Amino acid sequence: MTQPSSPDSKVLFRVPEDDGSAQVETLWATALGNDEYKLDNSPFYAYSVSWGDIVYAPFNESEGFPTFERVVKKSGHRTIRIIFNPPVQAGNESDRVLQGLVSLGCTYEGANRGYMAIDLPPQVQLEEVRRYLIDKAAQWEHADPTHAELFPDEA
């Protein structure tokens, strides 16, 4: 019986900022060989990638990490990010919003109690999650797909 793979690497992403600088984020990944990696967590800053995506990321000597170049295969997962104000505490309004997302089938990772990456597995309807967050007046963003990817005519 084959053991399931577990994250054994980190892949570096450079996220461009408006001022020309870049934010660096590293995501856990499983090495698949040939400079391909399967992402094993949701991005807090990178766009257009999600949990389970297979990416091409050759090792970059100056970065010291495999460094993202492109998506090889999408997993079907999508990512949104949400800022909670007030931060999530057991039973507060932010916690109720988060638990509502869980009841829709989402999972999440928290950078902290006020900022979370929400994973939408393939069976979760993005439009249902969007309507829920709009109804709750949540502060959130599309990360994968991005707003511009979903609504190119509004860009």
Domain ranges within the chain, ordered by starting residue: 9-73, 78-154
In the CATH scheme, what architecture does the domain 78-154 have? 2-Layer Sandwich (3.30)
For residue 7, what pLDDT band results from cuts at 50, 70 and 90?
low
Confidence of residue 3 (pLDDT cuts 50, 70, 90): very low
φ and ψ at 133, to 5 degrees? -65, -35
Q: Give the global pTM.
A: 0.90
pLDDT at 64: 93
d(CA 59, CA 72): 16
